[in-house]
Amino acid sequence: MNTLSITLIETAPATSGGHHHPEISFDLRIDGEPHPGFAGLSIDPGAFVESHDDGEFFVATCGCGVPDCAGVFDGVTVIHDATHVHWKIPEPYALADGALQPEPMTYAEFSFNADEYHQQLAGVVAALQGVAQREEAGEQFSIEANAGISAFRILKWGLGGTTASR
């Protein structure tokens, strides 16, 4: 059994040069630590929210939002059963320039308590709703990984509500 947590990080805007809006990113930890295979990548909260269903999700992606750009060609395989949510993360997750995925592929495997997983999903949805409300009130943000684009789309389509209510 493993634990997973994902939290919103808000960085204050630079006072001179650089970005002038708060930066929003997400910090994902497995067993309390960032996953080593995700180092240097950005967490896409929209992809995480979509993982309330089984499938393959690019939970960690390039800072620009395009997984291929960071050498990520296979996402995290997510499988739900009655009590647990199972993750298979390819190793390596991001391939170095010109490197080929080893054959057969190898994976790091994790199993999370399903209730705790759904709490994390609901927490991300709530965090994004908070950002969306502040945006509607006129605040502007820089959001890592184009993460906001898929996340806000999900919020607008109401998928988040499905997640929060399980």
CA geometry: angle 41, 93, 5, nearest 5 deg: 60
Choice between 66 and 79, CB closer to Zn ion:
66
Number of residues that bind Zn ion (CB under 5 A): 3
From 57-65, 96-104, 119-127, 129-137, span contacting Zn ion (CB under 5 A): 57-65
Of 42 and 163, the one with the shorter C-beta distance to Zn ion is 42
Nearer to Zn ion, 62 or 125 (CB): 62
Does position 64 bind Zn ion by CB under 5 A?
Answer: yes
Distance CA(42)–CA(68), nearest Å, equals 13
Decide if residue 69 touches Zn ion (CB under 5 A).
yes
Specify the length of the chain in residues. Answer: 166
Q: What binding mask, one character per residue, do residues 10-49 give for Zn ion by CB under 5 A, x or -?
A: ----------------------------------------
DSSP strands (E only) in 16-136: 23-30, 33-34, 42-43, 55-57, 60-61, 76-80, 84-91, 106-113
Binding flag, residue 99, Zn ion (CB under 5 A): no
CB-CB contact of 4 with 29 (8 Å): yes
Of 60, 81, 63, 64, the residue nearest 72 (C-alpha): 60
Cα Rg of the chain, angstroms: 16
Residue 9 interacts with Zn ion (CB under 5 A): yes or no: no
Contact between 149 and Zn ion (CB under 5 A)? Answer: no
Q: By CB under 5 A, name the binding residues for Zn ion.
A: 62, 64, 69
